[in-house]
Amino acid sequence: MVTLHDVAGMALVALGLVLTPGPNMMYLVSRSVTQGRRAGLISLLGVAVGFFVYLLAAVAGIATLFALVPAVYTTVKLAGAAYLAWLAWQALRPGGTSAFDPKPLPPDPPRKLFTMGLVTNLLNPKIAILYVSVLPQFVDPDRGSVPLQSLLIGLTQIVVAVTVNGLIAVSAGSVSTFLRGRPRWLRTQRYVMGTALAGIAVTVAVD
């Protein structure tokens, strides 16, 4: 069954990814800053549903893949490590931008906010690769049901992602105002997240 080490590992990866600027963060911050906290939280609900869609699809796919080709574990493990390294570079490269300095968006009704949050997450390559390449690294067929392990590890990621994104949506306006006049803080945020992701990528690759 899933170990505490696996849960903590996925939680750490999920935290690093959710704090790395990407489509979800950009959309939620833009909505919260432009249209208010309620709009940001409605958008987050759509994002959360997108996570569950990916998780259910990944659980079925991962179970079948491991059953037919056990050696594929090594392939997805290295692919996940490479992707984490790429995210680290995106955060550390010169000229990177912060998600807390978003472009203005026109106001939208709740239904559209939910739909756009869902679509943004479903079309987010970072999330797709997370479930296909990273999640399997925390699943061990020798410890029991692969689908159940995948589900529990995936739920760990969802809890972390929704919680952090919720905090971001609620505080985005205040944080954005604070950081806009402090470019050094924006750079520090990128460097810290990039370094953390790079460390995780190395750990995953050599484990």
- Residue 158's pLDDT band, with cuts at 50, 70 and 90, is very high
Q: Which long-range contacts (CB under 8 A, 24 or more apart) does 84-88 make?
A: 84/13, 84/16, 84/134, 84/197, 84/198, 84/200, 84/201, 84/204, 85/197, 85/198, 85/201, 85/202, 87/17, 87/20, 87/126, 87/194, 87/197, 88/194, 88/195, 88/197, 88/198, 88/201
- Confidence tier at 48 by pLDDT (50, 70, 90): very high
Residue 146, H or E segment: helix 146-180
Q: How far apart are CA 82 and CA 77, in angstroms?
A: 9
Q: Which two three-digit tokens encode residue 50?
A: 């997108």
Q: Give pTM, 2 decimals.
A: 0.72
Could you tell me the two tokens for 44?
């987050």
Confirm if 78 and 152 have CB atoms less than 8 A apart: no
Statement: residue 206 has pLDDT above 80: no
If one compares 102 and 50, the residue with the highest pLDDT of the two is 50
| Backbone dihedral angles phi then psi of residue 140, each to the nearest 5 degrees | -125, 110
Q: Is the pLDDT of residue 201 over 80?
A: no
- The CA-based diameter of the chain, rounded to the nearest angstrom, is 55
Lowest model confidence (mean pLDDT) among 43-57, 156-170, 178-192: 178-192
- The least confident of 23-27, 66-70, 75-79, 162-166 is 66-70
Percentage of the chain modeled with pLDDT above 90: 15
pLDDT for residue 198 is more than 70: yes
In this prediction, residue 103 carries a pLDDT of 58
Q: What is the pLDDT of residue 30?
A: 76
Q: How far apart are CA 28 and CA 126, in angstroms?
A: 16
Average pLDDT, the chain: 78
Which of 22-36, 114-128, 153-167, 174-188 is predicted with the least confidence, judged by mean pLDDT? 174-188
